[in-house]
């Protein structure tokens, strides 16, 4: 039995610093939790991704405020839509579905 087999699953695949990005806290459009049954009551943020030419509005379910910045894990991140206007017209079930999908992406 090797050393790795005695470690917990999370210890075998540690997150690298490159797995995280920081964005200005002012880029956060919405912070909420999933409320639709079946989406597991997950916290999420919707934010404007700085410097991205496509899918500028993102959703993330692994985030932590760091003063004037928010630290995000890239594994729990999804593009949501292109523009703020498009985001404002999205139904809540679409947003929460993507939040749940983001959380599932990161959990894999």
- What are the sequence ranges of the domains in the chain? 18-107
Please report, rounded to a whole number, the percentage of residues in the chain having pLDDT higher than 70: 81
Output 92-101 pairs: Cβ under 8 A, ≥24 positions apart.
92/36, 93/36, 95/46, 95/59, 96/34, 96/35, 96/36, 96/39, 97/36, 97/39, 98/59, 99/34, 99/39, 99/42, 99/44, 99/59, 99/61, 100/34, 100/38, 100/39, 100/40, 100/42
Label residue 8 by pLDDT band (50, 70, 90).
very low
Has residue 57 got a pLDDT over 90? yes
pLDDT, mean of residues 79-102: 94
Q: Summarize pLDDT for 58-88 with one digit per residue, the tens.
A: 999 999 999 999 999 999 999 999 999 999 9
Whole-prediction pTM:
0.79
User: What pLDDT, on a 0 to 100 scale, did the predictor assign at position 53?
Assistant: 67
More confidently predicted of 38 and 47: 47
């Amino acid at each position: 039995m090797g050393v790795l087999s005695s470690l917990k699953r999370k210890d075998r695949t540690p997150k690298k610093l490159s797995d995280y990005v920081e964005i200005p806290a002012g880029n956060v459009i919405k912070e909420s939790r999933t409320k639709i049954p079946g989406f597991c009551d997950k916290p999420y943020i919707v934010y404007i991704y700085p410097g991205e030419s496509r899918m500028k509005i993102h959703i993330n379910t692994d985030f932590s405020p760091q003063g004037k910045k928010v630290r995000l894990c890239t594994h729990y991140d999804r593009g949501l839509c292109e523009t703020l206007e498009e985001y404002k017209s999205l139904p809540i079930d679409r947003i929460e579905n993507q939040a749940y999908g983001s959380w599932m992406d990161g959990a894999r």
